[in-house]
Structure 1
Amino acid sequence: MKRALIITYYWPPAGGPGVQRWLQFVRYFNDFGIEPVVFVPENPHYPLQDASFEALVPETTEILKFPVKEPYRLAGFLSKKKTKQISSGIISNKEQSVLEKTMLYVRGNFFIPDARVGWVKPSVAFLKNYISEHPVETIITSGPPHSLHLIGMELQKAFQLKWIADFRDPWTTIHYHKSLRLTKASEKKHKDLEKKVLNTADAIVVTSPTTKKEFSLLTSKPIHVITNGYVASEEMHPVLDTQFSMAHIGSLLSERNPKVLWKVLSEIASETPSFQNNLEIVLAGTISDEVFESISKFGLKDNCKHLGYVSHDEALKLQHNSQVLLLIEIDSPETRAILPGKIFEYLAAFRPILAVGPKGSDIEGILTETKSGVFYNPSEEKELKKQILQWYEAYLDGTLSVASEGVEAYSRRELTRKMAALIKQV
């Protein structure tokens, strides 16, 4: 067995996609000769929680915890709603209040690379003591928050250990980075830290081909693409929705509002008599006010069902029972690298996937490779409308389905096999 110290911020009872990547690796590591030791904050600020994930942590896994000082807790006294939104990544397109502008400025310029940077020094001291008494062979840091990579850098230097930096999302090219109201000096600090991490780690892991291309311009270190994935389940017994349900699982941020989709659905409803009665838009997760406003504007309010945040188990049922699964990404060059965790669970549901996002998105590559759905840019309105009408006709005939291929390569177990091989190789 090779002992690997995994440093991650998100861990059960955290909810949402951020926690699932390393939870699932840890779950299967022992099968592939890796003994994981997990280091997480003792008192974290999780905007979303899902207690069902706690049952997935293997009983034999050693979990180390150390307190973290959370700036978001202090900011919450000023504005709990805004604090929760910003810490969740929801930054409104509308005119921002003085308070919101101030919070973003402070977040971007006083906490570099992020609001958890205060956890770095005490964590390094704690882990130095631990490693001295309980040696490990490899350190793995997972970001965001990217400040955790600074912990890995210090431990690598102190013990000459192998260090793998795992990027679930990009750093300075992530879509919300420009919204942090950074000064030129702060922007430079972010980029300098990013480059230092990329050139100091022994290996880099990313979740998308585009991120690999971007990082390869900054470092000559080996970069490996290991995507997120899905958990194979034999317990699912799908019962397809009787209505023409189009379900989106997960947060819909303001900038991710698919106005072209609502417009097309509205047009079809006015042109096809039965469509308005059969259509059901299912939204599960945190939804911004702008999205609801758009849905109402296009006359679809009565067709929309908002479930709020649902547990992971409930999300899986929704995915398997829906007629069509919606995958929406911000139409921006900065989001081409994003492969949301839900795309892989969508694949495992074997339902048609309708994705809308930027040209050149890695999402399109996955859907094309697996023949699991279609991808459109918002400019392709006519093609989008034609596709929905085709699927609606198939729904009426009872033949709406998808013939996916090669989905098994994205199972969590297969991806863990790949990650374990990398850990042994580095």
Structure 2
Amino acid sequence: MKKVLIVTYYWPPAGGPGVQRWLKFVKYLPEFGVEPIVYIPENPTYPLQDTKLRDEVPQGVTVLQKKITEPYAWASVFSKNKTKKISSGIIPNKRKQSFLERLMLWTRGNLFIPDARVLWVKPSVTYLQRYIKENGIDTVITTGPPHSLHLIGMHLKEKTGIRWVADFRDPWTTIGYHKALKLSDYAAQKHKDLERKVMQEADFLLVTSRTTQKEFEAITSKPIHVITNGYDVENVNRLPLDEKFSLAHIGSFLSERNPRILWKALSELIKEEPGFKEHFELKLIGATSQEVLETIEEFRLSPYVNNLGYVSHQEAVQQQRSSQVLLLVEIDSEETKSIIPGKLFEYMVSERPILAIGPEDADFAGIIKQTNTGVFALYDNKDLVKETLLSYYRLYLAQNLKVYPVGLQQYSRRNLTKQLADLLK
């Protein structure tokens, strides 16, 4: 059986989407003749935790740990809440940033390149170099963000000659929040130089979308393979459908994902459609930015909000399956059209219709259309959003609100892991 060393920052009890991809690959790789060995930080600073995910770590898997020094741990001394938000990707609106937030963003972008976990690189390379030689490891896989983990893979390849695969769950210099890091010209160039070097030194790259694949093809000639995120069989109790006409957003609701056309459409339906305001409920499950909450208040929708905050992955799956309609929103920019939110795949197998709002030519728009799981609208198409909500509402009243998906099996975690295992042979 081939031995593969997986270097990842996010691992249970980390919560959020970053942990799911490699937790599921590790679960299924042994079925396809690959033994995964996982390397993680011993004392990480996770902005979100979900202790129930520990139960999903396969029994008997080898997990190696090494201490990490993290600036986020130091910064939390001054403001734990601000540090937690920034480390989880919730960056305040530029006009509303405090001095401390501006300082933290500048420090993060200019002093810790490529990110705040870069101090883990040197001790990890020293430790893993010896482990690889002593344990017959065939391949090293690094997954980012944090992209500093790719530097571990790059140095291990330089020192041992081992095959190295770099997995990009998100892009590096073109991801939405990169521009908010207040980069100097020197820092911006250093990010690009490291990005290019990683892509040219890796034996091959993994990405999660076709758009990212095309973007990276302009940087490197190395093979780039698309393996999307996916869904797994979740053994959770299915709750009854909500009695209310619930529109549920699950996951981080960032300031940049603030669709005013949605809030306007909802406010109009409340005024115009008989019975809508008595039936409607907006469920917010996960961290929601203050700017989003203020906009909801601006459109007088606050009385309809059920803000559940962050919940375990298990409870999130239950909420997905019991909500009437699922809301998926991505930032409206050229940089984000490659982002396929991990929750999309869980949404698709929840058997609930999806209302998605995002940028033109978004990769996930095609997936929703191909699988017949919902409706995708651009940020300037309020009429489509309103018509879709009204259609869903009338089907809800008729007790006939459901979807008829097709072709979902290709996105199962087991099938995706087989694709990965085939690449590793």
Normalised-by-shorter TM-score class: over 0.9
Shift of 1:131: 1.4
1:178-217 matches, within 5 Å, as 178-217=179-218
Distance (Å, rounded) in 2 between the aligned partners of 1:373 and 1:83: 36
Partner of 2:18: 18
Q: What residue in structure 1 maps to residue 331 of structure 2?
A: 330
Partner letter of residue 294 of structure 2? E
In structure 1, the gaps of 5 or more residues are none
Contact kept, 8 Å, 2:236 with 2:318, in 1: the verdict is no
C-alpha distance after superposition, 1:301-322 (max 9, x if no partner)? 1111010111111111111111
SS in structure 1 of the partner of residue 352 of structure 2: coil
* Inter-partner Cα distance in structure 2 for 1:314 and 1:78: 32
The 5 A counterparts of 1:218-237 are 218-233=219-234, 236-237=237-238
Partner of residue 246, structure 1: 247
Percent identity of equivalent pairs: 56
Contact 2:244/2:281, CA 8 A, preserved across alignment: yes
Rounded to whole Å, the distance in 2 between the matches of 1:65 and 1:53 is 18
Deviation at 1:236?
4.6
Q: What's the TM-score once normalised by structure 2's chain length?
A: 0.98
**Where in structure 1 do 4 or more consecutive aligned residues deviate above 2 Å?**
233-238
Q: Does 1:318 align with 2:323?
A: no
In structure 1, the residue corresponding to 2:349 is in which secondary structure? helix
Unaligned 5+ segments in structure 2 are none
Alpha-carbon separation, structure 1, partners of 2:375 and 2:211: 19
Name the SS for the 2:216 alignment partner: helix
Which residue does 2:276 correspond to in 1?
275
> Counterpart of 2:157?
156
Residue 71 (structure 1) aligns with: 71
Q: 1:227 to 1:39 in 2, by over 3 A?
A: same
For 1:229 and 1:398, the matched residues in 2 are separated by 29
Match of residue 140 from structure 2: 139
1:170-216: CA deviations, max 9, x gaps?
Answer: 00000000000001111110001001111110110001111111101
Alpha-carbon distance between aligned partners in 1 of 2:45 and 2:26, rounded to the nearest angstrom: 22
SS in 2 for 1:270: helix
- Report the count of equivalent residues: 424
Q: Distance in 2 between matches of 1:30 and 1:239?
A: 36
Q: Say which SS state the counterpart of residue 254 (structure 1) adopts.
A: coil
AA of the residue aligned to 1:406? G
- 1:232 and 1:348 in contact (8 A); partners too: no
Q: For 1:238-272, what per-residue CA distance to the aligned partner results, in whole angstroms no more than 9, with x for missing partners?
A: 52111111101101011111221111000000001
Which stretch of the first structure deviates more once superposed, 166-175 or 285-294? 285-294
Q: Which moved more, 1:381-390 or 1:108-117?
A: 381-390
Matches for 1:23-422 after TM superposition, within 5 Å: 23-93=23-93, 94-233=95-234, 236-422=237-423
Per-residue CA deviation, residues 87-116 of structure 1 (Å, 9 max, x unaligned), is 011111133222211111110000000000
**CA shift in 2, pair 1:98/1:387, >3 Å:** same
Alpha-carbon distance in 2 for matches of 1:331, 1:118: 33
TM-score with structure 1 setting the length? 0.98
SS, match of residue 149 in structure 1: helix
Please tell me whether the aligned partners of residues 236 and 314 of structure 2 are also in contact (alpha carbons under 8 angstroms). no
Is contact 2:245-2:280 (8 Å) kept? yes
User: CA shift at 1:234, angstroms?
Assistant: 6.1
TM-superposed CA distance for 1:235, in Å, is 5.1
- The SS at the match of 2:229 is coil
Distance of 1:95 and 1:120 partners within structure 2: 34
**Residues 116 and 233 of structure 1: CA distance in aligned 2, closer, same or farther (over 3 Å):** closer
Given that 2:371 and 2:407 are in contact with CA atoms closer than 8 Å, whether structure 1 keeps it comes out as yes
**Secondary structure class of the residue paired with 1:195:** helix
User: RMSD between aligned alpha carbons?
Assistant: 1.0
Amino acid across the alignment from 1:255: E
Tell me the secondary structure at the aligned position of residue 292 of structure 2. helix
Structure-1 separation of matches of 2:277 and 2:413: 39
Question: Residue by residue, what CA displacement relative to the aligned partner does 1:65-86 show, whole Å, maximum 9, x if unpaired?
Answer: 0000010011111121211111
